[in-house]
Amino acid sequence: MCLKSNIKIKYLRERFFNSKLKELSGNILELGFGNGQNFQFYPSNCNITAIDSKIYYTQEFNNIEIKQYTIDNILPFENQVFDYIVFSFFMCSIKNQKSIIKEIHRVLKKQGRIVYLEHITSDMRFYRFIQKLLVPVTTLFFNKCSLFNKFSYSLKSTFKLETKVYIPNSIEPYEFGIWIKHST
Ligand SMILES: C[S@@+](CC[C@H](N)C(=O)[O-])C[C@H]1O[C@@H](n2cnc3c(N)ncnc32)[C@H](O)[C@@H]1O
């Protein structure tokens, strides 16, 4: 989320992400909710828990419980509690992505899903090279955000792909994805 154009991100959210959030049901966990801009899209009959290390958000929703929590290696929930785990522009700030993905897997119910919109590593060698070069700069100046974000590679062993849309955009391509938990 470092170099993004707000117009492009707004379009991507509307085109892929917000409409999907409107279809969710059951227990939802949102990671790194930021200013809570996804909250308005969840159906009112969902139970949502939203966590972030910093809380700048004040508007209250009856069905959303906000927790201030810095995700390190552990998610503070029992096993198999959530139907969906949602995040947008969150994984780029996470160093130990594999541990968090393991935790996401643990707290999701069987057949639970991950729904995300993230900027990711480019599929073009030249842009990947630039992304890698820029990592020290973006992590230092953009809230630990890394342009070289390969988190979805780590989903392959324990999640099954349902939907993936790659949106090319030079050094900041995006990915909208839905993965289903497939092993216990
Ligand atoms: C780039 S913002 C994205 C906010 C929002 N999801 C959006 O789509 O605009 C990343 C958010 O993740 C939170 N975050 C980063 N690392 C975190 C961690 N280890 N634990 C909890 N929240 C974290 C930050 O505080 C920030 O609010």
pLDDT tens readout for residues 80-111: 999 999 999 999 999 899 999 999 999 999 99
Q: Whose CA is nearest to atom 10 of ligand 1?
A: 90
Which runs of E-coded beta strand occur in the chain? Answer: 27-31, 47-52, 64-68, 82-88, 108-119, 159-167, 174-181
**For the segment 106-155, what is each residue's pLDDT rounded down to a tens digit?**
999 999 999 999 999 999 999 999 999 999 999 999 888 999 999 999 99
Is residue 82 packed enough to be buried (19+ CB in 10 Å), middle (13-18) or exposed (0-12)? Answer: buried
Domains identified in the chain and CATH numbers = 6-181 (3.40.50.150)
Pairing verdict, β 159-167 and 108-119: unpaired
Residues lining ligand 1, Cβ inside 6 A: 1, 32-34, 37, 52-54, 70-71, 88-90, 93-94
Structure tokens at 113: 């899903």
